[in-house]
Structure 1
């Protein structure tokens, strides 16, 4: 079979590799869709950070896979051949406190392995996965829907749950990339009557409006002062998805007094006057990293109930052979999600 490797320096290698065989507790998935995440671009495609959970180990890339089960190994009980499945992209030890709570993303064991980072991921024809890392995809959702849930939409949903978004509350999203679009779409589905977004890209602002991810999308923080002024000032809930310090500060400054802010975008350094911006305004600030498996399962069920299809954020689709072009488009940052899709 063929698989995509990311040697760094904005290069993509397509290699022939042996087909995987399932061992005890393992499953082989015929990959139907595998989307590209901003963290792939930041920490692998452009340069290899090489430390901690972001240490890339020259494996097949792609940590957002979805597909159909081809084969199961000994001891597999829950998953069956033919099941349509989403891959939770962190394979934890299953024994540490974080794993036992469902947060394999935060697994503290040296045995922690992320698909597409330390073990083979979804940019391939087939994927070897642990049964415990698989969630069954509802019939009404597409494979591309599932790939979008595998990281991006689950990350967005977890952030909104962490800030306990209630119906009737205004939401501000800073950064309208794929995760920001997901936050806006989910916030609307969860009852937010008004979602405001901000992003420097006119293409992404237009896309957010077209998708219903933002009722209003503006370029600058100054424009938010007029939109979110009012007697109390700011939105009850803000979520930063930019991974840019200035935008994170914008989110904090435009959170209403006693409001809640979730920081989702990675890779930035934030400088903030803690007393003025956070303490004196009595904000609650959450750092939110991906989602636990049980929350992802809950999201899949609710997406089916809401008839909400995450694949709507995918603006560009490529075949596996065109993976290099797919990464170029994703790296340009002008559109929505980029997917590698197999028929």
Structure 2
């Protein structure tokens, strides 16, 4: 039985975890509640999000199930978007203690390379790098053993569900929007209104974008996004990017958007983001997968566009985002369309991999649940 740093016992020796065998199922297994070692904390998980990258690379047995080296999935408890409450600390913990509410940055890096020292654990090149839910046990369980160095304070104004969304999707969107300097000087175009696109729209409003327009293929997702009070317009794409860009311009009453972000990860979506940007515009690419194909002269050079590619975010930026969301009065959990207990993880993953309108989140059947 584990003990908290204040001597209060953790009330379970065994917990349930969710595993992804790679056959488009999510299975439940029992495992021992871990005890924190030096520099580690034990977190009672309040919420754990389901990420599209887990669906594409692990759930459907794609690249994540190949081999045991590097980024391959190693058969651990899934889930890299957790938030919860610390219930025990190991020797040497200095910043966080029992009772603290935290978000977990989903990569544990070596801590010594240049990327780690900048807070970009995601880009750590060391063999010691481990991703929660990929190479070490993740957040789809009642408890999570985490490195104290990967914890981010969760403001009291935000829920555990808010924190779980910040842990990946909202952090990814924030980094992409920071790179292109979204502010009140211009409008924002968001292409792809899945969970990351919804996050980009909400954060863009918080950062001061004058108007936010979204483009999305799925009628269901367009309807869901349109009801969030974030987007000034949600548009269905035309067969070609230039025609879609004209729709965007009409919706904005301008030549296009000063800033644009592609969250679709598709060739058509990236072309739309580029076509929808005005002269001297700034375009951010955050969607995984696919290809980028564009005419160069008219589409890029003559419009003087700046393109940024961004992969997740840094730990300091994630902490900054949590504070900003609380200050802006914005709640990430509003983009959540479905919540499930761990016992229904298989149903939750089927929905997330299929026709979910917004974000799908797992809530432990025991624990904080706020």
Asked if these proteins are the same fold (TM beyond 0.5), I'd say yes
1:158 aligns with 2:180: no
Counterpart-to-counterpart distance in 1, 2:54 and 2:355: 13
Deviation at 1:78, TM superposition (A): 0.6
Higher deviation after alignment, 74-83 or 271-280: 271-280
1:43 alignment partner in structure 2: 57
Alpha carbons 2:206, 2:325 under 8 Å: kept: no
One of 234, 254, 260 as aligned partner of 1:217? 234
TM score, norm. by length of structure 1: 0.97
SS at match of 1:17: strand
Higher deviation after alignment, 208-217 or 145-154: 208-217
1:291 alignment partner in structure 2: 313
1:258 alignment partner in structure 2: 280
Alpha carbons 1:33, 1:143 under 8 Å: kept: yes
Segments of 4+ moved more than 3 angstroms: 50-54, 229-232
- Matched residue count: 343
1:77 alignment partner in structure 2: 94
Alpha carbons 1:183, 1:213 under 8 Å: kept: no
2:323 alignment partner in structure 1: 301
Counterpart-to-counterpart distance in 1, 2:161 and 2:318: 15
The gaps in structure 1 that reach 5 residues or longer are: none
Counterpart-to-counterpart distance in 1, 2:216 and 2:135: 32
2:16 alignment partner in structure 1: 2
Write out aligned runs for 1:1-343 (5 A).
Answer: 1-50=15-64, 54-221=71-238, 222-228=243-249, 233-342=255-364, 343=369
SS at match of 2:152: strand
Counterpart-to-counterpart distance in 2, 1:216 and 1:231: 12
CA shift in 2, pair 1:278/1:231, >3 Å: farther
Counterpart-to-counterpart distance in 2, 1:18 and 1:231: 59
Alpha carbons 2:244, 2:272 under 8 Å: kept: no
The gaps in structure 2 that reach 5 residues or longer are: 1-14
2:10 alignment partner in structure 1: none
Deviation at 1:53, TM superposition (A): 5.8
CA shift in 2, pair 1:82/1:231, >3 Å: closer
Counterpart-to-counterpart distance in 2, 1:142 and 1:196: 27
Deviation at 1:194, TM superposition (A): 1.1
Higher deviation after alignment, 269-278 or 245-254: 269-278
Counterpart-to-counterpart distance in 2, 1:255 and 1:189: 20
Alpha carbons 2:337, 2:356 under 8 Å: kept: no
Deviation at 1:189, TM superposition (A): 1.6
Deviation at 1:307, TM superposition (A): 1.4
TM score, norm. by length of structure 2: 0.90
Deviation at 1:226, TM superposition (A): 3.5
Alpha carbons 1:242, 1:248 under 8 Å: kept: yes
